[in-house]
Structure 1
Amino acid sequence: MGLPDAHLELEVAKAITETGPTYGRKMMKGYLAMKGVYAAETRIGSVLRTMHQPYHEARRQGARNLNPIPYQADYMGQKVHMDQNEKLAMFGVTHVLAIDGYSKKIVAHSTMPIKNNLAIYEDVFRPAVLAYGMWDQVRVDHGKEFYLTLFMQELLSSHRHNQERRPYLQTSSTKNHIVERIWPEVNNRVNYPLKTALMGLVDQEEIDMNDSLVRYCVSNLTGRLCEIGLTRLVESWNAHRIPGKGTPNDLAGRGCPKKIHQELLPHSAEAADLYSQQLGSSLTRHSTFGVDPFSNEQDKITVENQFAEHYSDISELYSRAVNNDFAPYKQALLCLITTTQCNV
């Protein structure tokens, strides 16, 4: 027996409060499935059309500029694409994700203050390979932030399924790889709502982004909210239906043909040491946005506890912001800045 209409309407209504207005029937189906709620795409579309007419109209009129993909991967594990998104870089937030070229599954993602070789390797490449196996080829742009990842990919190239292919390829972003087609989804559903709120604070001179403490607080809270939104989007994307293909989760199957033992993938500090020993150059170990204002760990814990007394569930701040209610997020950010100033 299918989900009753009234129950489906309640679930969609709740989901809208968490995702905002941009999820259409496919992405909403993926988001609901991720939460264990299953219904036909047509039923979900009908509910979305009738439940919130302004949101439906905005989606209907939204134009997408998606150019053709220049190639087709033949199997899960043939190519993995990695890229960074810096739409919120001025506020200390950068996204990095990896997506399989065949299944279109986002296999790893991370939000960091500033793009960094060690962080990208540790938080994106390493967990993706440990979870799914070795890809035949890693594809990135010409950014220097991927040097450690490419070094390790080449070092482990003998563990790949197809060793005739080059272990990695750096190409221009104009190639329009699948990873670059994901960023409009991330921008509309995660970055732009938060950026709108932050630009409002800057324009009203309520925050000074030249102040290192303010920069640190803005990056800290905004990054945490972005990670909430990015996680929701990734889980929805991986569970949504791609016409003519299927869902990324299903298409990914059991992962790459060749798996790898954990001991072959050292953590970032050890990998960076190998890089320095073999190539004779060093990588930046840590990248920060602003300056950490805390002289000791206890002061930091004190601020976190005091902030949590007012905002115990920061996911609510994100949910309100993507539904164009920016006040709670703004107030929380100002609270964090004030609390930090009082404790350092």
Structure 2
Amino acid sequence: MSNLVPYEETIRQMYGNGFSDKQISNYLIFEMGLRRGASERSIRQFRIDRGLVRKTVSDEHLELAVAEAISKTGPRYGRKMMTGYLAAQGVRASEVRVGTVLSQMHEPYHQERRQGAENLNPQPYQAEYMGHKLHMDQNEKLAMYGVTHVLAIDGFSKKVVAHSTMPVKNNLTIYQEVYRQAVLAYGLWDQVRVDHGTEFYLSLFIQEMLAEHRYNKERRPYIQSTSTKNHTVERIWPEINTRVNYPIKTAIVQLIDQERLNMDDNLTRYCTSNLTCQLSNIGVQRTLQAWNAHRIPGKGIPNNLAQCGCKANVTEDLLPEASAAADFYRQEVGSSLTRESVFGTDPFLSEEDKSQAETEFSLLHTDVAALFDSVVNRHFTPFQECLIDLVNITRRYV
């Protein structure tokens, strides 16, 4: 055990961040070169001797935490994603305990999850390390209502490292809020993988410009392939569709079918996009918190696997703001990128009118997050009435 004493702080930190005894053992043996006295059994005994034991939550507390989580996430979170969601909220419990509570707490939701389970195709490759490949993709399931999601996921850890929800996919927004944010937070990836969409042009332009700063310069700085071959990022979209997009879409479609919402009207389109972007962004953030904290069988927890970041880093001065990057793109490539994309038409003639409308609306509807809680649990009326109110209030100020 004396061999482990110099590594006590490392063991404490890794165990506190959710690493298992086996993972800590492998790290000390293969990364730190400790050949003797670093077995899984030795690690377990070493931490027990020092009182390193994770606190367990009581059954009563766990039931309350799961009940509150269901009210915010709806029926589609199984034991793995729910365990991840709870961990992101600071409540740690085993998947077995969480699964037991889920099955007992709401039987209809439990049966729905069981019937909706789907098998995924095997993954065609294995990324070698954090920073090897960055997958970026867009989701347009709500595009007809002015909502597009874009995210970036690391191929090794499977952690979603950046995301953005916008009215219409836009090069500058994607670069600023997804690619640039990911690189500043975690470092520079060897390779970026995207589909053939034009919305990634600015991100790929900067990635190629930074090619000499990468860890492995032998790889191509980016690859464009069909969406069906961008497997790693495609696996996250079913999670977001079932937990965010489909419940919101159902609520909006009901309004259209009842002829209470006219999506041919530009003002209505603008308002629908504005509110639905806010609502869906809340859901996406919750889903990604759970995803990044849940355990992937045979792999580990994305947050833990991505803890060390990429092997290469760049300074902020090498990553210009979106507007400056777009200017440089125009100078080098000779074509211009759309600076701002809006769904519908901004109806306000002045900022004062817009501010007054926003103030009146916010006094009437103080908690947008509560609207999502209702929608995801199939109580659509609060969101529907809120959207109608937004359209009517906006119309009075234009």
Secondary structure of residue in 2 paired with 1:245: coil
Question: TM (normalized to structure 2)?
Answer: 0.85
1:338 matched to 2:392: yes
Indicate which of 183, 192, 211 corresponds to 2:265: 211
1-side partners of 2:230 and 2:76: how far apart? Answer: 22
Match of 1:146 in 2: 200
Indicate which of 290, 296, 307 corresponds to 1:242: 296
1-side partners of 2:121 and 2:274: how far apart? Answer: 35
How far 1:65 moved relative to its partner? 4.1
2-side partners of 1:76 and 1:261: how far apart? Answer: 19
Match of 2:245 in 1: 191
Q: 1:223-244: CA deviations, max 9, x gaps?
A: 0001000000111100000011
CA contact (8 A) 2:135 2:230 kept: no
CA contact (8 A) 2:138 2:150 kept: yes
CA contact (8 A) 1:69 1:176 kept: no
Match of 2:105 in 1: 51
Most deviating of 148-157 and 34-43: 34-43
RMSD between superposed Cα atoms in Å: 0.8
How far 1:2 moved relative to its partner? 2.3
Match of 1:287 in 2: 341
Aligned residue pairs, count: 344
How far 1:70 moved relative to its partner? 1.2
Question: Which structure has the bigger radius of gyration?
Answer: 2
CA contact (8 A) 2:193 2:224 kept: yes
Q: State the identity %.
A: 62
1-side partners of 2:294 and 2:102: how far apart? Answer: 16
Secondary structure of residue in 2 paired with 1:26: helix
Higher normalized contact order (CA 8 Å, seq sep 6+, divided by chain length): 1
Match of 1:21 in 2: 75
1:169 matched to 2:235: no
1:229 matched to 2:283: yes
Match of 1:220 in 2: 274
CA contact (8 A) 2:193 2:230 kept: no
CA contact (8 A) 1:67 1:176 kept: no
4+ long deviations beyond 6 Å: none
Give the unaligned 5+ runs of structure 1. none
Match of 1:277 in 2: 331
Match of 1:309 in 2: 363
CA contact (8 A) 2:228 2:234 kept: no
CA contact (8 A) 1:130 1:260 kept: yes
How far 1:174 moved relative to its partner? 2.0
Question: TM (normalized to structure 1)?
Answer: 0.99
2-side partners of 1:304 and 1:70: how far apart? Answer: 48
Indicate which of 18, 39, 61 corresponds to 2:115: 61
Secondary structure of residue in 2 paired with 1:139: strand
